[in-house]
Amino acid sequence: MPHPIVRFAPSPTGAIHIGNARTALLNCLYAEKHHGDFILRFDDTDAERSREDYAAAIEVDLAWLGIVPDLTLRQSARTSLYDAAAVRLRAAGRLYPCYETAEELERKRRLQQARGRPPVYDRAALALSAQERAALEAQGRRPHWRFLLDRKTVRWDDLIRGASHVETGSLSDPVLIRADGSYLYTLPSVVDDLDCKVSLVIRGEDHVANTAVQIELFEALGGEGAAPRFAHHNLLASASGEGLSKRTGALSIGGLREAGVEALAVAACAVQIGSSAALHPVASLRQLASELDLAQLSRSQARFDLAELEALSARTLHGFDFEAARERLAAHDVVGAKAEPFWLAVRGNLRVFLDVFDWWRVVEGEIAPPEQPAESEFLAAAAAALPPEPLDATSWSAWTAALKESSGRKGRALFHPLRLALTGREDGPELAALLPLIGRVRASARLRGRVA
């Protein structure tokens, strides 16, 4: 297979959510797996709703997810290409001017519905004579332009849904150009996909009807066989069953980031959800790419559950080796010889990454151990029995075995007062790993109830 070229084409009209991230990731990981190119294209021809700050925020979100486009394009800068395509379509008789107002179209639709007919545009404008058009224009009406569909069965072999077809006879001729001359999404998308030699379009199944129209457009502009391949993935719904929307900001990537969810977990969840494999943590986007198999994606709606993502995020953290955490630890001054053993000791107890700094204070900073008056004698004896430095991985078991012997305590009675005094917490990482990091001096002071 030649190197594929794929693209993610958000309209910058809001913050991207996990469903959009799914589309972005399926494309970029497909490119990664098959050594192809991944294009980020902002579909910003709707000047009213598109905003530069949304585009910038989408770039930040993608970068946070680890998605690096090979090329970034903005449709607003490519109008001359669309104009040229429109000229060719007009010349071929595939683009025709229409003058109905929104109200007139609505009235036609109601009438059709009342007669039990499908609400398909009746092509009345095709029948207008040059004089009739001139008369309408003289009234101040500006035309919008529709693409003349072939009204045929359009077939494609969908990489996710398998053999697919749509009867374009059941669709209205789509408006490609608004009365103000601006382009709707349909034509620019096809022109750009042709111009960029996009070979596969992976997008949500809400675009299936567009695909049929666009295949006709690809052929009108590029000839038979000009259309790329298509893969339509299922859409994500929230746990309560609602769809996700860019406009409401539901489950936005930025919101998940602020909640401390790991980027790699968001990526894994976005890709794995609704596939036959259960959600599982991955060590890298590369691993996620190697596991990607479009044919394995399920066709039924996938429910997104935040609690599941949070659990996956914690499991993702638990699996990070030191290298994966080093830079983020260093950014908070967790450096030096202790940093690696510290990370390995505490990672399994983290819910979100920032929890790590509470544990760093336990091993490297000061804590005030809670008062345990009933245990003071036992804790003083424990302090006296602490083995000499250097403490190592065996110190804890040697020390507590000796304490068990001398105090006659065991189980919780033995361990709980020690954990509370040493860490100030009811639970946490293995003390065998923490004790050498806390060190003898701090441990001894805390066992004696001092702030240390």
- 70 or 291: CB nearest ligand GLU: 70
Tell me the closest approach of the beta carbon of residue 27 to ligand GLU, in angstroms. 9
d(CA 277, CA 312): 14
Task: Determine the Cα–Cα distance for residues 257 and 253; give it in Å rounded to an integer.
Answer: 6
Residue 445 tokens read as 């002071």
* Residues at the interface with ligand GLU (CB under 6 A): 9-11, 43, 185, 189, 201, 203, 207
Closer to ligand GLU by CB, 172 or 189: give it. 189
Cβ nearer to ligand GLU, comparing 194 with 282:
194
The Cα–Cα gap between 447 and 384 comes to 9
- Between 184 and 352, whose beta carbon lies closer to ligand GLU? 184
- Between residues 228 and 429, which has the closer beta carbon with respect to ligand GLU? 228
Nearer to ligand GLU, 75 or 395 (CB): 75
Q: Tell me how crowded residue 419 is: count the other CB atoms within 10 A of its CB.
A: 16
CB of 44 to ligand GLU, least distance (A): 9
For residue 312 the two structure tokens come to: 């996956």
Residue 313 to residue 185: CA distance in whole angstroms: 36
CA 57 – CA 73 distance, rounded (Å): 15
The strand ranges marked E within 76-174 are: 95-98, 144-147, 153-158, 162-167
Least distance CB 202 / ligand GLU (angstroms): 8
Specify burial of residue 115 (Cβ count, 10 A radius: 0-12, 13-18, 19+). exposed
Q: Name beta bridge partners: 98.
A: 144
Closer Cβ to ligand GLU, 24 or 443, answer by number? 24
Q: Which is nearer to ligand GLU, 206 or 405 (CB)?
A: 206
Tokens of 108: 């036609």
| Separation CA 62–CA 8 (nearest Å) | 11
- Nearest approach in angstroms of CB 11 to ligand GLU is 4
Helix or strand (DSSP H, E) at 8: strand 5-8
The residue with its CB nearest to ligand GLU is 43
Question: Nearest distance from residue 8's CB to ligand GLU, in Å?
Answer: 7
Give residues with Cβ within 8 angstroms of 404, minimum separation 6.
410, 414
As a whole number of angstroms, the distance between CA 6 and CA 27 comes to: 6
Least separation in angstroms between residue 246's CB and ligand GLU is: 8
Least CB distance from residue 244 to ligand GLU, whole Å? 13
CB of 303 to ligand GLU, least distance (A): 21
